[in-house]
């Protein structure tokens, strides 16, 4: 009973801290948009003078004077009258670490020239949800530095959710009822889907302390694709496999069902093989004889079972998967991307089936899986193992479940490339691996040195 009461009290305190941090984040965002750099300096001076001074000192007079100027600036900003229309030409894709520049056309719909304007994108907040913060708070120590740890968790979650950076850009003077084109730039920080809500145009008051703001709802989105590394050509040995029901795939890959001859219908022949013109001509069912479908099919197996401390490790794993998705040649083969998110997924790319860009878009949306165990990924791979010619496994750990998957695939005779992210001294090599033929294709990739380690494959 006491433990339940303590748990409820702790949850109540955590909830209060979450609400407080949320309000602080809202105030911070409003302050950055509304106050100019000079205005922030004035505001800081007011706070500083209020702390060090008393009611009977010069500090009181300074605070009063600065407050009057700031209040007058806020009042003047209310008279910012500007009506505008804008269009945005946003590319569909961007990549982590590569600035994204795009055009925005702004039209002045007033009868007066407009000058000293700044423009910026409007976007949603990066605040974590209550469930995300609550989950992170469970790992916080209950004594000592509890509040400091919660603050670190809060800032860490915001960094994870902040996909890009943007800043105000100056607009040239707009003549009445004229248009101008400006180049805006986003700095992609992390993969994911970027949702832009609208355009914000500001102009500082005559004192240059507070911004008058006009907003225009203009929704748009693009995908930030994962970072990619240079990867040497990987030649996975493997034979062509029979693809049951793979007619639509085999039509452009490998040995398709090439037409051989016509024959009479036999019980069990599928309807899709009936040659209707011949049936109409001879008056009895005639079917087509064709070759079976055989082609090379590789699997790109991505481990998404990351702990809270493995956020950066998972991001690197996704970047490595993206690198291989771009490098593996699929003109004459297929590549299956397998991972587990909210459910088990398998996406195929190859000629006329999908392309690397679509695979990268999928990888941009991959999320961590914490509500299932690694065996769910093993089950997904096992269900498709008989179709595969080889596998590239990108793993976050080298524990028993992951070793069991690798051992199972090797027993099937599939060529493997095993990549484990982390320093070698963090893991214990299994006896099976030391005796295995796969040992030569087993590599550790060190955080911070991923690019260098990939080039040694």
Domain parsing of the chain, residue ranges? 35-73, 80-126+162-225, 294-455
Average model confidence (pLDDT) for the chain? Answer: 84
pLDDT tens for each residue of 29-76: 999 999 999 999 998 888 887 777 655 567 778 888 889 999 999 999
If you average pLDDT over each of 355-369, 412-426, 432-446, which comes out highest?
Answer: 355-369
Q: 80-126+162-225 and 294-455: same fold?
A: no
Q: Which two tokens stand for residue 3?
A: 């433990």
Closest CA to 122 of 86, 78, 93: 86
* Residue, of 350 and 299, whose pLDDT is higher: 299
* Residue, of 395 and 350, whose pLDDT is higher: 395
Question: Average pLDDT, stretch 180-187?
Answer: 95
Amino acid 13: pLDDT: 82
Amino acid 252: pLDDT: 44
89 and 168 in contact (C-beta within 8 Å)? no
Q: Find out if CATH 3.10.20.30 is the number for domain 80-126+162-225.
A: no
Rounded Cα–Cα distance for residues 250 and 351 (Å): 10
Amino acid 362: pLDDT: 94
Q: Tell whether the model's pLDDT for residue 144 goes beyond 80.
A: no
pLDDT tens for each residue of 333-365: 788 999 998 889 999 887 666 788 889 999 999
Amino acid 112: pLDDT: 92
45 and 61 in contact (C-beta within 8 Å)? no
Please provide the DSSP assignment of 161-202 as one string.
H--EE---EEEPPBPTT-EEEEEEEEEE-S-EEEEEEEEEEE
* Residue, of 11 and 70, whose pLDDT is higher: 70
Q: Tell whether the model's pLDDT for residue 225 goes beyond 70.
A: yes
∠ CA 226-347-413, rounded to 5°: 105
Rounded Cα–Cα distance for residues 427 and 444 (Å): 10
74 and 212 in contact (C-beta within 8 Å)? no
* Residue, of 263 and 345, whose pLDDT is higher: 345
Percent of the chain with pLDDT over 70: 84
Output the pTM of the full model.
Answer: 0.81
209 and 231 in contact (C-beta within 8 Å)? no
Q: Report the Cα–Cα distance between both ends of the chain, in Å, rounded.
A: 57
Q: Tell whether the model's pLDDT for residue 103 goes beyond 90.
A: yes
Q: Tell whether the model's pLDDT for residue 179 goes beyond 70.
A: yes
Place of tokens 């209060």: 16
Q: Tell whether the model's pLDDT for residue 312 goes beyond 70.
A: yes
Counting other chains too, the contacts that 246-252 makes at CB distance below 8 Å and 24 or more residues apart are 246/293, 246/295, 247/272, 247/293, 249/293, 249/295, 249/334, 249/348, 249/350, 249/353, 250/293, 250/294, 250/295, 251/352, 252/351, 252/352, 252/353
Please provide the DSSP assignment of 53-78 as one string.
--TTSHHHHHHHHHHHHHHHHHHHHT
Question: Average pLDDT, stretch 284-306?
Answer: 80
Q: Tell which CATH classification among 3.30.70.60, 2.30.180.10, 3.40.50.300, 3.40.50.410 matches the domain 294-455.
A: 3.40.50.410
Amino acid 437: pLDDT: 73
């Amino acid at each position: 009973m006491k433990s339940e009461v303590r748990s409820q009290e702790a949850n109540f305190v955590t909830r209060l801290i979450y609400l407080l941090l949320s309000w602080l984040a809202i105030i911070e965002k409003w302050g950055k948009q509304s106050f100019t750099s000079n205005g922030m300096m004035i505001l800081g001076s007011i706070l500083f003078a209020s702390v060090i001074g008393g009611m009977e000192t010069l500090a009181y007079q300074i605070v009063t004077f600065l407050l009057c100027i700031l209040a007058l600036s806020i009042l003047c900003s209310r008279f910012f009258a500007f009506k505008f229309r804008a269009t945005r030409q946003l590319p569909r894709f961007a990549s982590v670490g590569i600035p994204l520049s795009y055009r925005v056309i702004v039209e002045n719909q007033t009868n007066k020239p407009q000058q000293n304007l700044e423009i910026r994108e409007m976007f949603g907040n990066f605040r974590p949800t209550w469930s995300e913060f609550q989950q992170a708070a469970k790992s916080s120590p209950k004594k000592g530095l509890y509040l400091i740890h919660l603050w670190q968790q809060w800032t860490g979650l915001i960094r994870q959710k902040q996909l890009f950076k943007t800043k105000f850009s100056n607009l040239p003077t707009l003549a009445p009822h004229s248009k101008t084109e400006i180049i805006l730039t986003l700095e992609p920080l992390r993969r994911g889907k970027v949702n832009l809500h609208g355009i914000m145009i500001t102009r500082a008051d005559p004192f240059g302390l507070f911004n008058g703001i006009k907003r225009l709802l203009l929704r748009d989105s693009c995908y930030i694709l994962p970072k990619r590394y240079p990867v040497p050509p990987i030649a996975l040995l493997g034979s062509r496999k029979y693809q049951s029901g793979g007619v639509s795939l085999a039509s452009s890959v490998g040995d398709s069902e090439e037409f051989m001859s016509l024959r009479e219908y036999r019980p069990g022949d599928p309807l899709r093989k009936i040659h209707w013109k011949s049936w109409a001509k001879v008056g009895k069912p005639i079917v087509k004889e064709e070759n079976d479908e055989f082609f090379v099919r590789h699997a790109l197996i991505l481990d998404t079972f990351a702990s809270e401390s493995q956020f950066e490790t998972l991001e690197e794993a996704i970047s490595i998967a993206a690198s291989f998705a771009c490098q593996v040649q699929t003109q004459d083969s297929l590549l299956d991307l397998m991972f587990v998110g909210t459910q088990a997924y398998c996406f195929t790319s190859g000629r006329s089936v999908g392309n690397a860009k679509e695979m990268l878009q999928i990888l941009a949306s991959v999320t961590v899986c914490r509500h299932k165990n690694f065996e769910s990924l093993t089950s997904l791979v096992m269900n498709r193992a008989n179709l595969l010619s080889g596998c590239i496994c990108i793993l976050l750990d080298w524990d028993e479940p992951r070793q069991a998957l690798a051992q199972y695939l090797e027993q099937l005779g599939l060529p493997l490339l095993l990549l484990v992210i982390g320093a070698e001294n963090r893991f214990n090599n299994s006896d099976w691996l030391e005796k295995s033929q796969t040992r030569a294709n087993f590599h550790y990739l060190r955080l911070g040195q991923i690019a260098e380690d990939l080039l040694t494959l």
